[in-house]
Amino acid sequence: MDSLYNNTFLPEGKRCNFEDLKFYGPTQITFAEPVREELKALKGKVSIIQEILLKEENVDSFCASIFNYRIGKAESLIKNLHDFFCILLLKKVKFTYSPQHGVNLWPSSLAYVHNMEIQNIIASRTKSFFTDYITETTTFVSYYIKFRFNDLFGSSFIIKYVSKVIKCLLLFAKKQQKMHIMKNSIKSSLNLLLINYLRGKLS
């Protein structure tokens, strides 16, 4: 029988690389600190990146690339949503860029996604946006891992982002005529997250 749980989230959903970045190497290169005027200009670019991330079509693409994998990791839709929201709400953003794989706000927890608007902003200024990068010498895959402006992705941005994610999930459920199931599952998963957090089971 067809159900929301068994339905593929979106056709383009796919499993991506979830390995911890610390296993990549062995080459690591450090960049010099930008001057004050450049840092100010870069903060303006970060604001643009945040606006791009919050576009509905990009949130939809994020959910398509990530949620389809996570929903298959446990038997319960609520458990998958709970785990998903735990990452978005409780893990600090560690903005990471790979020319080969795209961008990632939660490396080792969620997958990389390609967004050419953001990648074009980052690509010409990698030495300014990041303090260093690591590269795998056999495959020549590079990861820029220490973003200078992670502190700008605080609670204000996260609240906006999670709100967009919830809206995206509800719109998908509506198309599948499963709005009631998704709405109740989201509520239950967030309540469970709050209970576990207050009990000290989450940090």
Whether residue 32 contacts residue 138, with contact meaning beta carbons closer than 8 Å, is answered with no
Instruction: Specify the pLDDT at position 35.
Output: 73
What are the tens digits of pLDDT across the range 38-71? 889 999 999 999 999 999 999 998 887 766 655 4
Give, as one character, the DSSP assignment of residue 136: E
Per DSSP, the three-state class of 164 is helix
Other beta carbons within 10 Å of 176: 14
Question: How high does pLDDT run on average in the chain?
Answer: 82
What are the tens digits of pLDDT across the range 75-121? 688 888 998 999 999 999 999 999 999 999 999 898 888 999 999 99
* Paired strand residues for 98: 102
Span of 16-20, 132-136, 137-141 with lowest mean pLDDT:
16-20
Give, as one character, the DSSP assignment of residue 92: P
Peptide linkage before 11 cis (omega within 30 of 0): no
CA 96/CA 111 separation, integer angstroms: 11
Pairing of strands 96-98, 102-104: antiparallel
